[in-house]
Structure 1
Amino acid sequence: MKKKKLMDFHRFLDEAGDTTFYGKGKKNIIGTNGVSNVFILGMIKVKDPLDEVREKINSLQNKISLDEFYRVPSVIKKNNKSGYYLHATDDIPEIRKEMFDLIKTIDCSFEAVVGRKSIERYETKHKGKEEYFYADLLSHLLKNKLSKHEKLVMHISERGKSTKNHNLELAFLKAKQRFSKSNATSNIKTKVVFNVNYPTKDPLLNLADYFCWTIQRVFEKGETRYYNYLKGQIKLVIDLYDLKKYEKWGNYYDNKNNPLTSKNKISPLKH
């Protein structure tokens, strides 16, 4: 049998978008200025030695923090606070290009679950709690990972109540239930360990962040150039609540037979 390597047991998770549903007076503000239409949770598997990839990203971050050309407010602010780290939303286009080019040199695969925001679903299925919304998405990322490895370490970017241990365990329970429902003859053998961390502490979370941002641009803007650039490394994207395309796995997008296009942009809801 092929000997398992350290990176086989580790996954790195981050998100894009927000879990805001209401404004003042409990008004529906989904999709309004500064509020996303979707919340995305993504997971990356790195197939190169982890420390080598961390060093690659750290080297780029150090270069940016010292480069006079990049003395812009977003970089200066981070340098003064906790040290510069890559974050796609904050980074200027020139920095993004450097990071995207670096990503292309890394042997990795990415998958994501996209959660369309709906007030009705949020109040019923998720009981009006953002942590339940998060747990639902995470369970779908986990559900097909429970029979291959004896152990998986999930390195997750910290997100308040959503990444508290009891909520992560809730997601794991949901994942096991979903696995058992669709795999009646298979046994769950994978122990999942959660390691909540900060993007400032582990550059591999910054890598996951860039992939999540790439998917967000498709669903929020209909912008596919970043996705097309990284498409070979994006294994699967599930538009989880796209009920119109549920039949025949139409809401599952891979990079070969059913890639994302500008048509995946979410149309604004009428409030």
Structure 2
Amino acid sequence: MSVNSEPEDSTPVTWFVDEAGDPTLFGKGGKVVAATEGCSRFFIAGKLECRDVDALTADLERLRKDVVADPFFKDVPSLDPARKRTAVHFHAKDDPPEVRFMVYKLLALHDLRFVAVVRDKLRLVDYALQRRGIDPTYRYDPTGHELYDELTQHLFSRLHGWSDHKIVFAQRGHKPRTKAFVDAIAQEGDGFTRDFGLSKPKPTEVLCSVPKDHAGLQAVDYYLWALQRFYERGEARYLNFVWPQTLEVLDLDVEPTRKGKKSARQTGIFNKEHPLTLESRAGVGRMDREI
């Protein structure tokens, strides 16, 4: 666990939480499908701190209305209200490149801070196969809830302030998992108290919702998309753009490369002191094959 040393004020904040990638490891017959066509290699959870939700909401809504009304985007499929995509809310994967550029430029103007936790699913495959060899009854949870809860615990073990805070997390599947989410945070809070003798502030409210109802969920999706492009494709330009607003990326599957003074490659922690670049994380991931 890590305690952030930068000064904090007492302004109430809202953390918006979402994920990128899919949790799938195995297909039919137990075949490994992680990192194959149509299945991500990495699973990422991220949270975005926002100190002025109203301002962010107003700006994103204004931009969305401008885009919908702009004749340049006439007949663009994602702008068709019937498809319920860009015309309803921003989503980096679905938005046209021109819209994506405008959203990133807008987000850079706001007081936002991003934190993420990353897992390499091929490492999870190794773990699942080894565990099954020891215990034949073991089965990896195909819903991904177990993996998501693990990353949530890590995500909220990274203490980045003592302000009063509210948490809005994106709904997974058809049923809200608010209790499981709260339990994961509480479990990590108990661990923090045990290890450091300090009590972390508890959230004043925890909500499960969908992006169309919260601009912050649309925003965190954009930061996660940038990080996902880096990990899955070795494409750094989007991550480079949001890096000034990124507090930390915790990579759980980075292996040490040398002894002596600890580097990001040894701790798995990438931040302002140890930026996440193609070079600093070289040697791991699909990016090795595509650069």
Match of 1:66 in 2: 69
Match of 2:148 in 1: 134
Give the partner amino acid of 1:168. F
The 1:175/1:161 distance shift into structure 2, 3 A limit, reads: farther
Greater alpha carbon shift after TM alignment, 119-128 vs 160-169: 119-128
After TM superposition, give the deviation of residue 203 of structure 1 in Å: 1.3
* Structure 1 segment 12-91 matched on structure 2, within 5 A: 12-47=16-51, 49-70=52-73, 71-76=75-80, 79-82=81-84, 83-91=87-95
After TM superposition, give the deviation of residue 38 of structure 1 in Å: 0.7
* Distance in 2, Cα, partners of 1:55 & 1:176: 33
After TM superposition, give the deviation of residue 111 of structure 1 in Å: 0.8
* Distance in 2, Cα, partners of 1:175 & 1:4: 22
After TM superposition, give the deviation of residue 225 of structure 1 in Å: 0.6
Can you list the C-alpha shifts for 1:101-132, whole angstroms capped at 9, x where unaligned? 11111111111111211224357599622101
Can you list the C-alpha shifts for 1:164-206, whole angstroms capped at 9, x where unaligned? 12321331233124313431x2234424632011011111111
After TM superposition, give the deviation of residue 154 of structure 1 in Å: 1.0
Match of 1:114 in 2: 118
Task: Give TM-score, length-normalised by structure 2.
Answer: 0.80
* Distance in 1, Cα, partners of 2:174 & 2:258: 30
Which structure 1 residue ranges, 5 or more long, are not aligned? none
Match of 1:190 in 2: 202
CA contact (8 A) 2:189 2:199 kept: no
3-state DSSP of counterpart to 2:211: coil
Match of 1:261 in 2: 277
* Distance in 2, Cα, partners of 1:219 & 1:235: 18
After TM superposition, give the deviation of residue 257 of structure 1 in Å: 2.0
Number of aligned residues: 260
CA contact (8 A) 2:118 2:252 kept: yes
3-state DSSP of counterpart to 1:205: helix
Could you tell me the percent identity over the aligned residues? 26
CA contact (8 A) 1:134 1:162 kept: no
* Distance in 1, Cα, partners of 2:187 & 2:255: 20
Can you list the C-alpha shifts for 1:213-250, whole angstroms capped at 9, x where unaligned? 01111111111111111211111101023244698353
- Which of 153, 160, 182 is matched with 2:166 structurally? 153
Give the partner amino acid of 1:259. P
After TM superposition, give the deviation of residue 144 of structure 1 in Å: 3.5
Give the partner amino acid of 2:167. M
Match of 1:218 in 2: 230
Give the partner amino acid of 2:169. I
- Give yes or no for the alignment of 1:101 onto 2:105: yes
3-state DSSP of counterpart to 2:212: coil
C-alpha RMSD of matched pairs (Å): 2.8
CA contact (8 A) 1:74 1:91 kept: yes
Which structure 2 residue ranges, 5 or more long, are not aligned? 1-7, 133-137
Give the partner amino acid of 1:52. A
The 1:146/1:246 distance shift into structure 2, 3 A limit, reads: farther
The 1:268/1:45 distance shift into structure 2, 3 A limit, reads: closer
Task: Give TM-score, length-normalised by structure 1.
Answer: 0.85
- Give yes or no for the alignment of 1:172 onto 2:188: no
* Distance in 1, Cα, partners of 2:199 & 2:44: 29
